[in-house]
Structure 1
């Protein structure tokens, strides 16, 4: 891996993990009361659970697309958003967060061992670099919504 690749990968990793100018998912969910996971504030189209699940599904899809020519993306938008406001139980909540973290780790591993500027063979011009930027942007956007929901629920710092 050359110096430029190392530098870009390091910066992308920081962006993907949150921090600096962005709240991480871990920080956005820190000390969230379990009973607030499924509340949809008035005039809001989703709950914190729905945002977490959406992050999980979309991130999984971007990871799988980046590495697997046979991958079929979920149907947009129906299969990217859970219909239930709240997780079935605490195990569902923990499982979603565990997959988000493991998929993110796997994507970062892919970043470190790929030619990030080479087009993905089964794509339409996408590169691992583009997928990393899209993933960071997508997660950052929805993590900010989680913070906004927590503020509406009077459960933020």
Structure 2
């Protein structure tokens, strides 16, 4: 049973950020709203596109785990808004809130000690919840890192940010 507790603890740490990972809330802390539709150089996607991509992908993984009838979006077009699409502050907030709610649902699965994370998912026998949680956490970490770099490129970190201040070490 000790190994199971360690595994769950490490999965939660990976989902929540920390250690070598920035969290969703950290990367968006004090985010200037006038930049939600901004596209840094050499990318067709805005900050909102990245946040919405994170939300859609995490929603899809959660739906896959929970629902035998879940239908994933078409890949790749269904996993992010069209490049020309924009949002407003309400849309930005909806994307952020949706991501946070689904992240909490994934964490609740990890915390539920009655749920065996390693057995095959009944409707997807080649997959297990452990794998899906790792997939979500890995995907989140990757794109959260991209958002961090995009903020650095656009010089929109708040003064004194402990991670990326724009000053060389």
For this structure pair, what is the TM-score category when the shorter chain's length is used for normalisation?
A: over 0.9
What TM-score does the superposition give when structure 2 sets the normalisation length? Answer: 0.87
> Contact 2:16–2:23 (CA<8 Å) still a contact in 1?
yes
Quote the residue 1:43 is aligned against: 42
**Are 1:143 and 2:144 counterparts?**
yes
> Contact 1:57–1:80 (CA<8 Å) still a contact in 2?
yes
What is the SS of the residue equivalent to 1:38?
Answer: coil
Q: CA RMSD in A?
A: 1.5
Matching of residues 44-123 of structure 1 within 5 Å: 44-83=43-82, 87-113=86-112, 114-123=115-124
Runs of 4+ residues over 3 Å off in structure 1: 84-87
Deviation digits for residues 29-50 of structure 1 (CA, Å, limit 9, x no counterpart)? 1111111111112211311110
Unaligned 5+ segments in structure 2 are: 158-164
Instruction: Please identify which structure carries the higher strand content.
Output: 2
Partner Cα separation in structure 2 for residue 88 and residue 42 of structure 1: 19
Report the CA distance between 1:85 and its aligned residue: 5.6
Partner Cα separation in structure 2 for residue 86 and residue 28 of structure 1: 22
Task: Name which one, 1 or 2, has greater alpha-carbon Rg.
Answer: 2
What is the SS of the residue equivalent to 2:119?
Answer: coil
Unaligned 5+ segments in structure 1 are: none
What TM-score does the superposition give when structure 1 sets the normalisation length? Answer: 0.93
What is the SS of the residue equivalent to 1:76?
Answer: coil
